[in-house]
Structure 1
Amino acid sequence: MRYQLTRRAVLAVYAVLVIVPLVVVIFGSFKTSQELFASPFAPPTDWQSGNYQKVIGESGLGIAFRNSVIVTGLSVPLTLFIASLASYGIARTTGWKSALLFGFIVLGMAVPAQANMIPQYVQFETFGLTNSLFGLVLINIVTTLPIAVFIMTGFLKTLPKELFEAAAVDGSGPWRTYHSVVLPVSVPSLSATAIFLFVIHWNDLLYPLLFINEAEKRTIPVALLSFQGEFLTDYPLLFTGVVVASAPIVIAYVFLQRYFVAGITAGAVKG
């Protein structure tokens, strides 16, 4: 009984810590600066939509939103495609070779991204890939491929060998088995990995800040920095930008949450 009460109390405190800032941000996006500082937790007395019009139309966040859609929309499927091929090869390989391949790729998770930024910048600048959305797509694939392989390999290794043997008996080669057998049954794992990648790529600040110099090629996280001045920050506009930037993530999770839960638990226990 005491454990249940303690657990509920901890969960209640956690819920408050999550909900209160969320409410302040959403309410604040409909307020003026004066009203926000006067009553940050109360609902707006006069709901203002001007902040959204200013953020999307005048601040350039609309262009940044488009750039983020392009970068994320290319990075996620390409990373999934490469990771699924690598995971399929690792799962179908037996013995020490499988462990060696898996360990080599996943080793990238142990290296902090910040440690590689300067060498990566020099290399990308040599090939003319800095200040380019295509360069951001490439660096996104490189940096998130290890975690995608880690998630998907755990799922593919739970698939029974009889599934692949049946495909081979039917005359399916490796590519057809991957396309007709592996991908359809991997939808939960693919969806869960896609959500992880989407959140990482959409919210990435360091690489766009390092690689992009032109304002027309900024992504949303970099564009949000423009709302914060040296001496004064327009918090209603900043909160509005945060709401706009977070909307795609919330929508994606709402539609893919059942696949997300299934994908997370799929590789937890090997059947």
Structure 2
Amino acid sequence: MLMKWTGRLILFLYALLIALPLYVVLISAFKSPQTFFANPLNWPKPFTLTNFVSMFKEQPIWSYFLNSIIVTLGSVLLELLLGSMIAYAIFRLGGKMGKGIFALFAAGLIVPSQVNMLPIYSLAHKLGWSDQLYGLVLVTVALLLPVTVFMLAGFMQLLSKEILEAGSIDGAGEWTLFTRFALPLSAPSIAAAASFLFVMVWNDLLIPMLMINGKSKLTLPLAMLQFRGEYVTNYPMLLTGVVVTSVPMVLLFLFLQRYFVAGLTAGSLKG
């Protein structure tokens, strides 16, 4: 009984740790700067939508949205295409070669991306990718590919080899086996990987900060830095931007929740 209540207390404290910052972000979006600095934790009085109106009127927020959508969709689709192909190759090769390729990509998870910032920027500048959305997409794909391969390779190992061997006997080539068998069977796990990648790319600040200079090509997280001044930061506007930026990810999770849970539980039951 003591362990049960201790576990509940720990869960409650953990939920409170998450809920309190979320509460502050939500209520601050509906406060004026004066109200926010006077009572940061109090309910907004008066309740105002001025921050949202100002953001959409004074800032090219739709342009930032479009940039984020282009970068996120382009990066995630390319990640899933390349990652699923590599994971399938690892599964089909098996043995020492398959394990060696998997170990090579797993090693990419060990090196923090921050360590590679200078070489990445230098290479991107030489190739003419700096301050280009397609350059940001390619660099993002390169940095996140080990993560994608690591996730999808584990799911691919759960595929039935008998089904693929039966398809091979019927004359199906590797591309047909990949597109007609492996991808449909891996759909829940690919959707789960897509959910993780969407959140990572959509909220990424470091790589866009490294690659993008022009204001017209800013992504949403990078655009939020405009509300941070040298001496004064407009926190209500900044937190309003956080709310606006989070809405697409919340909607995405609601739509993909079924596939997300299915992907996480894939392979937990066998037989």
| TM-score class normalised by the smaller sequence | over 0.9
Within 5 Å, give how 1:94-109 maps onto structure 2.
94-109=94-109
1:15 alignment partner in structure 2:
15
Q: How does 1:84-233 map to 2 (within 5 A)?
A: 84-233=84-233
Q: CA deviation at 1:171?
A: 2.3
State the number of aligned residues.
Answer: 271
- Tell me how far 1:111 sits from its aligned partner: 1.0
Compared CA separation, residues 81 and 256, structure 1 to 2 (3 A): same
On the 8 A contact 1:61/1:241 being kept in 2, the answer is no
Residue correspondence of structure 1 range 38-117 to structure 2 within 5 A: 38-117=38-117
Gaps of 5+ in 1: none
CA RMSD after TM alignment: 1.5
Structure 2 gaps of 5+ residues are none
Question: CA offset at residue 268 of structure 1?
Answer: 5.7
- What's the TM-score, normalizing by structure 2? 0.95
- Matched with 1:32 is 32
Deviations 1:171-228 (A, max 9, x none): 2111111111111111111111101111111111111111111111111111111111
Alignment match, 2:265: 265
Q: What CA distance in whole angstroms lies between the structure 1 residues aligned with 2:56 and 2:21? A: 23
For residues 142-193 of structure 1, what are the alpha-carbon distances to aligned partners after superposition, in whole Å with 9 as ceiling and x for unaligned? 0001110011110111112111112223321111111111111111111111
Q: How far apart, in 1, do the equivalents of 2:237 and 2:135 lie? A: 30
Q: CA deviation at 1:38?
A: 3.0
8 A Cα contact 1:154 1:267, kept in partner: no
Q: Which residue of 1 aligns with 2:256?
A: 256
Q: CA deviation at 1:269?
A: 7.1
Q: Which runs of 4+ in 1 moved over 4 A?
A: 267-271
1:247 maps to 247
Q: C-alpha displacement at 1:57, in angstroms? A: 2.7
Distance 1:174 1:125 in 2: 38
For 1:31 and 1:85, locate their aligned partners in 2 and report how far apart those are by CA, in whole Å. 49
